[in-house]
Structure 1
Amino acid sequence: MSRFVILLAGPIAPTEALRRAVARCRVLAADRGMTHAEPLGLEPELWVGDFDSASAELAARHPAVPRAAFPRDKDMTDGEIAIEEALRRGATDLLLVGALGGPRTDHAFAHLVLALRYAEAGHRVALFDGREHAVPLRPGETRLATVPGAAFSILKFGDLEGLSIAGARWPLNDVALPFTSILTQSNEATGAEVTVTLRQGRAILIAQASAEKD
């Protein structure tokens, strides 16, 4: 199986949709991301990291999971190590769980950058925490399943050229947007799918998993 779930330390909502998404996948956990294994009914095949944020109590609950320990002083994040290990094990499709939100904004930002990096290397990458799901945008057409009324945004990582959005309350047609524009913030899906076409640039499409308003 080439679809791997990477459990990261950000918060999740263990919804039925998330459980379905991770079912029948191979699983690796990065440090405190192991806390999501039990709520999702998963048993990772490997647990990696420097274990600076994983408690002894968490380790005691998973004695059978093989561990690969790394020094705290290193030039890769625990999540990056887990992704690289998944690729070594044959992953072509990556689902990052616990990659969004949380107490460390820099961690969430790093996960978005990693998603773009591995998508540009030719791997399928998605992020899902039960509340929001996201996919990197690459040149060409990208489709994301939605529900009517769900909020979505396009997070830019540079200037965009040739951006079109369909299936949205506020569509766009072949526009150029500078990095500093927030025009793509807080749009709304009108149906079961949002379609984004991009000619050039780096961005992430992120959407609510439901139309519920906070």
Structure 2
Amino acid sequence: MSQFAVLLAGPIEASARLRARLASCRVIAADAGIRHARALGLEPELWLGDFDSVDEPPEETDAAEIRSFPAGKDKTDGQLAIEAAIERGATSILLVGALGGPRSDHAFSHYVLALALAEEGHAVEFDDGRERAWPLGRGETREVALEPGTQFSILRFSDVTGLTIEGAVYPLDGVDLPFTSILTQSNEADGPIRVRIETGRAILLAQADPSAH
């Protein structure tokens, strides 16, 4: 298995848990995501983008390879970095710094990209040291080992059918929900949880275990 981490520009918490996860990953940085490389003790094998969000010259980084793109392109730097990881044989992709930041549209685009990748059969996960997230495959049960009291939400990008949540303070059993419902916000884990949807598009978003920071 070839595990890749893609460093994006959103904020992260360089926790011990996140560092341990990244230790076994090949790393690609997208534009300002290069800032996280030093904080996490990483040397990316590739740094790419239009470099409009960084102050340091590309030649001063520790990246093994640098690839520059024009600012007026039809793909985001994050999308280009994900595509580069797939080209290099990624079987799983960890998106770091994708969940927040000054640009809400960037965070939204990362969710959409992750859903598209999951539907194509790629294993995708988000982790910024503070929160983690996973696309929910249709008809597949996602099991996540959460500590009791951990808050989580199901972010829906369409109507969903057959939503089941087990191991939570507010469980659900095969519920159909319209896109406009906010019923799945701010649930709480009793321990490990199991989530399943039959149809639709959704992402499971959970707090990281604070004891592992």
- Give the TM-score normalised by the residue count of structure 1: 0.95
Q: 1:151 touches 1:211 (CA, 8 Å); kept in 2?
A: no
Q: CA deviation at 1:194?
A: 1.4
Q: 1:17 to 1:4 in 2, by over 3 A?
A: same
Alignment map for 1:43-192 (pairs within 5 Å): 43-56=43-56, 59=58, 61-62=60-61, 65-139=64-138, 140-191=140-191
Give structure 2 stretches of 5+ with no counterpart. none
Divergent runs of 4+, >2 A: none
Q: Give 1:17 shift.
A: 0.9
| Mapped partners of 1:60, 1:40: distance in 2 | 20
Q: Greater shift after overlay, 123-132 or 16-25?
A: 16-25
Measure, in 2, the Cα distance between the counterparts of 1:105 and 1:127. Answer: 16
Q: Tell me if the contact between 1:148 and 1:211 (Cα under 8 Å) persists in the aligned partners.
A: no
CA distance in 2, matches of 1:66, 1:124: 25
Q: Does 1:16 align with 2:16?
A: yes
Are the counterparts in 1 of residues 161 and 177 from structure 2 also a CA contact under 8 Å? yes
Contact 2:44 2:62 in 1 (8 A): no
Whole-angstrom distance in 1 between the partners of 2:48 and 2:72: 15
1:82 alignment partner, SS class: helix
| Matches of 1:162 and 1:169, distance apart in 2 | 19
Identity %: 58
- Residue 61 of structure 1 deviates from its aligned partner by 4.1
Deviation at 1:210, TM superposition (A): 2.8
Q: What is the CA-CA distance between 1:39 and the residue it aligns to?
A: 1.0
Shift of residue 211, structure 1, vs aligned partner: 5.8
Q: Structure 1: state its 5+ residue gaps.
A: none
RMSD: 1.3
Q: Say if 1:60 and 1:176 are closer, same or farther in 2 by CA, change over 3 A.
A: same
State the TM-score, normalized to the length of structure 2: 0.95
* Match status 1:31 vs 2:39: no
Distance 1:158 1:21 in 2: 31
CA distance in 1, matches of 2:35, 2:50: 15
1:195-214 paired onto structure 2 within 5 Å: 195-210=194-209
Deviations 1:102-157 (A, max 9, x none): 11110110111111010110000000000000000011211122111010000000
CA distance in 2, matches of 1:184, 1:155: 7
Contact 2:31/2:49 (8 A) holds in 1: yes
Does 1:42 pair with 2:25? no
CA offset digits 1:27-58 (Å, max 9, x no partner): 0000000000011111000001000001126x
